[in-house]
Structure 1
C-alpha cells in the first residue's frame, strides 16, 4: 500500500492536468480505496477544476464522507473559477452550516469571486464575515480585499483595509493593488504619493508598480510626469519588460506623443497586442487614420493574431478617413475569423459605415445584432444625425429610455449633432437642458461646440457669444474656434476679430485661426487686414504638413515609413 501512496503522489505532481488524465488518476485512487480520504479528494477536485471537469469535481465532493476545510475551499474555488458565483456562495453557506469553519483562504477565494463578478454588496458581506471570524486583518484576507476594492474602483475602501494592517504585512502585491487602483481612477497624484511612501519604507518597486503609475496618465499636460516614470523604468532596467513596454507605449499614445510611443515600441523585442493596439489608438487620437491603418496592415502582414479591441480601433481610423474600402476588407476579415457577433466590433462597424456614408449598411448590422449596449445606440444615433435623419435619431433615443438603457454624454453629443445637421435649434436647447436637469450629466467640450454651431448656423451669433462667455473658465479653444467658424460663415468680421484675439493668446502657433479670420475680413472687403494676417502667417513660418499616401505599400515600404513616424 505504501508503494501505491508514493506512486499516486508522484502522479499528482507530474501528470498533465487534462480531463482524461484526471479521470484516470481518479480511477486509480478509487481502486486503492483512497477516494474517501479528503487529502486525495482535494487534489483530484483541484485537477478537475483546472481541466474544466466541474461536474466530476462536484460528484467526487458529494461522495467524499469526510470533508476538510481544504476540500471545501477547492470546490468553492472550482465554482468561482468557472464563473458560477451563485453556486460558489451556496457551497459556502453549506460549509458554514457544517462543522467545518472557513479559514482565510475561504474568504480570500470568495473575495476574488466578488471582484470577478463586480458585486460590491456581496464583497462587503464577505468582509464582514471575515471580521466576525477573527480573520479581518489576516494578511491573506486583507490582500484579497485590497485588490478587490481597488479593481472595483473603491480605492478609499481599499485604503482603509491597507492602512489598518501592520507594515510588516503590507506586501508588494498590496502596494501595487493600491497604486493601480489610483491609476485606473486617473488619480495619478495620489498614486505617486503612495509610491513615494512605499520607497521611503525601503520597498523596491517592480514592473507592476510602474505600470500602475503609468496607467493614470492620460493627458498631454502630464507628459513630464510620464517621462519621469519612464526614466525610472530605465534606471530599474524594466524598460525591456514586455508588460512595462506596452504600458509606456499606451501612455505616450494617450498623451498623443507618437514619436515617443514609436521609439518605445521600436525598442521592444516582441511587442504584444496591447502595444500594437496602443499605437493604432494613438494615431486615431491624433486624427492620423492613415498611419493607424498602416500599423494594422503591418500587423496582419506579420500574421499576428488580432483581437476585438484592435479591430475596433482600426475601424475608428477608417471612420476618420471616410474610406469604406479598407472597412469592407476588415469586415471580411472579421467574418472569416468569427468575430462578427462581438458587440464591440459590431458597434464599431455601425459607426464606421455610417461615417463613411453607407448608413444602410450600418442600419443592417444594427438591426441584426442579438445584443446592444449604449455604445451601439450612440453609434447609430450619431450616424442618423450625420445623415440629417434627426427624427429617427430621436425615436431611437426614446427607445433607449423605454427599454431602460441609461444614456451617457456620448448619447447627448450624438443628439446635438443631429440637431445641428437638421437645424433644430429649440430641440437642441431642450436636449442640452435635459442632459443636465433630467439625467444629471455634466456637459463637455463637444456639447458646447455643438450648441455654438447650432446657434451660429441660425445666425444667433450674439446668443452664441453670450453662451460661450457663460461657460466655466477657461473655455476650451475648440469652443472658441467653433464660434469663429460661425462668424466666418455669417460674415461678422467685428466679432470674429474679438474671438480671434482670444484664440491667438491661447494657441499662438496655430495658423488655422488666422486663415479663418482672413477669410472673414476678405468677405467684408477689409483687404489691408487680410494682407496683415497673411504676412503674419508667412513671417511665423506656419506651414502646412504635406499629405502622404500609404496605398499599395509593401511590407518593407511600411517598415521604412513607420521608421519616420
Structure 2
C-alpha cells in the first residue's frame, strides 16, 4: 500500500511515551508531510524528542486509523483546525496539517480515539468537553465509555445531563442518566427534576412517570417540585382525574403528605373542575392521611374571589368551619378585597364586625384594602372615617394608607387638606416618598394650581428625593395647560441641568405650547436642547415648528430651519 494513501490519526491529550515502532511510523508521517510544510525529522530526532517526553515535554502521539486524518489532503488543515474547536479539544495540533473530508467523518472517527484511551484519559477529556460546553461530543464519549465498561466521571455526567435537558436534548440526557445509574452513580434530586420537567414540557408524560419510579429506587427520592411538576403537566394536558389518581397513588405508596403539593392539586382542581369537585377531593384525600390546612382553604378562597365567584368562596368558608378551623386574617382580607371591588358594602361591614369579635382583628392591610376600595368608589368621607377608626384602635397607618388618602383628596379637590396631611407626614416615622409627592403634584397640576405644585416640587428636592418622569410630566402638563409655557421651559432647563432624563413627550408638550404662543425662538432652543440630550423629535414637532415660523411671516427663516433640520438628519 502506498504511504501517501495511509490514514493516520493524531491526538494531543495525554501523550504516552512512544515505542520504537511508533517512532518509525511518525518518521514516515514527517517524510510524507515534507511538501505540506511540516518539518522533516529523522528517527534519531524523534527518539530525542521521546526522551524529552520522559522529562515532562508533551509530544504528539500518532496512531494508524484513530482519527482518520487523510494525509493526501494535508495542505488545508491549518484553517480547519483554527475553525473547529472540537479538534482542539480532542487534541489535533496545529502542526499536523491534515484535513478530514467532512465534519461527519470527523465525528464518527472521534469514537476510535476514545476507544484507545484508558478510563482516566477519557474522564479527563470528558471534563474538558463539559467545561467547554461540548455536550454532543461529551454524550458520545460517555456512550463509548459505557461500551468499554469504563466508569464515567459522575459530576461531569450530572452537569452533562442538566445541560442536555436545558437545551431540549432530553433523549440524550436520558441516555447519559441511564448510563450513570448503571455505572453506580446516583443523580441528585435536582438533576432528576430538571429532566422530568423537560419531559413534561415536551409532553412525554409516560417517560416522566417511568423516571419517577427509577428515581425512587436510585437513592434520590422525589420531592415537592417533582410531584408538582408532574401534577401540573397532567392538568395542562386536560387529565384532571389522572392528576387526582396520581397523588392518591403516591400517598398510598408512602409518599409524605406534602402540604404544598396538596394545595397545588386542590387549586388546580378548583380551576379546572370547580369548587364542588375540589371539596369532594379534599374529603377523599383525607382518607389517605393528607388533611387540608388553612393555607389550602385560603388558596381556594383567593382563586374564587379573583374569579368573582363569591358564592363558591362562601362554600369554601363553610367547609373551613365544618372542618373545625377558623378563618384567619388572610381569609378575611381576601374576602374584603373582593367585596369592596364589587361594592358590597353591607357585607363588608358584616365581616368587619365578625373580625372584631374574633382573635383575628383588622390589621393595617385590612384598613388599606377598605380605604382603597372606598376611595375608588368615590366614598372619601367613609374612607376618612375608617382612617380615624384605625387610629382609635391603635393601628398605625403606613405610607400606603397615606398615599391612598392623599390621592383621593387631590382628585376630590381637597387640596389644602392634602397639603396639611403631607406636612404632618414629614414629622412622623412614616415620611413621604416619591409616590407621595407625585400624587400631590399630579393632583395640583390637574387642578391648575401649578404654583403650589412647584412649591411641593422644590420641597421634594430639598428633602433629597429625586423626581422621576411622572413628576416631570405632571409639572410640565400643568404649566402648559395653565398657559405658563415659559415657566415650563424653565423647569425643563433646570431638570436638564440636574442631568435627569426627560422624555420626548415632555419636550413635545413644551415645544408645541411655545409654538402656539409664537415663542418660536424658545421653541427652537428647546429643540436644540432636546437633540443634545439624545432625544429624537418626531414629525409633529418639526412640522409644527416650520409652520409656526412661516405663519409668523418669516418664510426665509422657515426655509432655513427646514435646512437645519435636514442637517440634524431629521426627516
Structure-1-length-normalised TM-score = 0.41
Mark the structure with the bigger radius of gyration: 2
Structure-2-length-normalised TM-score = 0.41
